[in-house]
């Protein structure tokens, strides 16, 4: 006997941020039967959405549902919402949260749709939310996955993952978000889910660079594969579960972002590979490519936990103008010509356990430096 599909109850929800992804996610929610209030910073954009049922600035050619209404008042957007979805540029999140904090109730779930880390602090988006909003961590969730806005806006079938330290919260959000073309899975690995969404952007920039240079599929596939290894090492060093990086928020998002011309990060990398400077690329991009802003803080975090990220290091050098884009390639990402194991076990057997020792050393340093641990004066 086949199972009947679960029909989630209609909810009042708010989406803060009317760029391409924010508008698309508002459409996802509206197509799931929810009443959606979309907050746009500009009055004219909110008026355009309400009058034409389109977002001509960021999502051309897509008609928006009638149960999606826009406003330029954040207070009006969140007043009656049961769930509040945040989709603003990662580097402006904190200032938006300062405005949001006095408007929230204790019973409203807050969901991050952003894929970045704060440049000044290196904090994930959920960590910034925890610092600025007076709500329980159980009321915070994050959404990630292979989610290219235009494809989803065209209602092409897509999957995503909702993560929260509270499985009940993640499940409630997943039911609210899911519709006939958008399916959500759940997990409780918030660091892994967030870092997957952040780190894949950096690898997508690298793939874009070699694409712009003119290298082919072998080079790109090698960078994607070794990039996933870098992503996993980094995320695990910061408390993530390795299997999360093999799922929708890691490998799934990595493939979509690296392979699609719709990806802003891939586009930015391709322009760099064609010889444009970082400033020129930034000026050409209508929307934020989060990977460009995340390179520096991610490398700072990697060095703090002694995680090697040679591909990301090369992207950093291209951004700084100290590495010719044609020299970024997977075979140039090791410090020695000595053969290295592809997996940690292979490296352990080939080189006397160097990788394992490195992992143990990192774990020891984490214990030594963790809050509450004894330290010498």
Mark the binding-site residues for NADPH, compressed into ranges: 20-21, 41-42, 58, 115, 149, 264, 290
**Is 200 marked active-site?**
yes
Q: Are 212 and 269 in contact (CB under 8 A)?
A: yes
Question: What tokens were used for 85?
Answer: 């979805």
| Binding positions | 17-22, 41-42, 58, 115, 145, 149, 200, 253, 263-265, 290
Residues 148 and 20: their CA atoms lie apart, in Å, by 9
CB atoms within 10 A of CB 348: 16
Distance separating alpha carbons of residues 49 and 9, to the nearest angstrom: 25
| HEC assignment per residue over 302-328 | HHHCCCCCHHHHHHHHHHHCCCCHHHC
Here the tokens at position 112 are 């991050």
Of 37, 33, 38, residue with least CA distance to 20: 38
End-to-end C-alpha distance for the chain, whole angstroms: 68
Phi, psi of 307 (to 5 degrees): -100, 125
Q: Which of 4, 200, 326, 361 is catalytic?
A: 200
Separation of alpha carbons 212 and 224, rounded Å:
16
C-alpha 256: how far from chain center = 12
d(CA 201, CA 40): 25
CA gap 43, 185 in Å, rounded: 35
Rounded CA gap, 310 and 107, in Å? 44
Question: Residues annotated in the binding site for NAD(+), as ranges?
Answer: 17-22, 149, 264
Distance CA 303, CA 298 (A): 9
Hey, which residues are catalytic here? 200
């Amino acid at each position: 006997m086949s199972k009947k599909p679960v029909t989630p109850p209609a909810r009042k929800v708010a989406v803060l941020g009317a760029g391409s992804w924010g508008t698309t996610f508002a459409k996802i929610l509206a197509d799931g039967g929810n009443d959606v209030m979309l907050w746009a910073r500009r009055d004219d954009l909110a008026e355009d959405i309400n009058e034409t049922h389109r977002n001509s600035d960021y999502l051309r050619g897509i008609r928006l549902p009638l149960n999606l209404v826009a406003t330029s008042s954040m207070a009006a957007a969140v007043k009656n919402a049961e769930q509040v979805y945040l989709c603003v540029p990662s580097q402006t999140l904190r200032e938006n949260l300062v405005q949001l904090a006095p408007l929230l109730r204790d019973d409203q779930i807050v969901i991050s749709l952003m894929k970045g880390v704060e440049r000044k602090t290196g904090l994930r988006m959920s960590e910034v939310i925890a610092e600025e909003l007076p709500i329980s961590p159980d009321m915070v969730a994050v959404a990630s996955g292979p989610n290219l806005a235009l494809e989803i806006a065209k209602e092409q079938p897509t999957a995503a993952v909702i993560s929260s330290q509270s499985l009940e919260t993640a499940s409630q959000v997943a039911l609210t978000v899911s519709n006939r073309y958008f399916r959500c899975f759940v997990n409780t690995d918030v660091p892994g889910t967030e870092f997957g969404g952040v780190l894949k952007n950096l690898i997508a920039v690298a793939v874009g660079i070699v694409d712009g240079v003119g290298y082919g599929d072998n080079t790109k596939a090698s960078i994607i594969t070794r990039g996933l290894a870098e992503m996993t090492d980094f995320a695990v060093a910061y408390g993530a579960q390795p299997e999360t990086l093999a799922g929708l928020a890691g490998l799934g998002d990595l493939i979509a972002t690296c392979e699609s011309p719709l990806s802003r990060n891939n586009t930015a990398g391709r322009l760099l590979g064609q010889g444009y400077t970082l400033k020129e690329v930034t000026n050409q991009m209508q929307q934020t490519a989060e990977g460009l802003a995340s390179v520096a803080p991610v490398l700072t975090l990697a060095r703090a936990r002694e995680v090697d990220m040679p591909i990301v290091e090369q992207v950093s050098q291209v951004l700084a103008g100290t590495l010719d884009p044609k020299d970024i390639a997977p075979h140039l990402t090791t410090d020695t010509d000595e053969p290295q194991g592809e997996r940690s076990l292979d490296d352990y057997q080939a080189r006397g356990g160097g990788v394992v020792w490195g992992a143990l050393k990192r774990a020891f340093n984490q214990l030594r430096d963790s809050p509450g641990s004894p330290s010498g004066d």
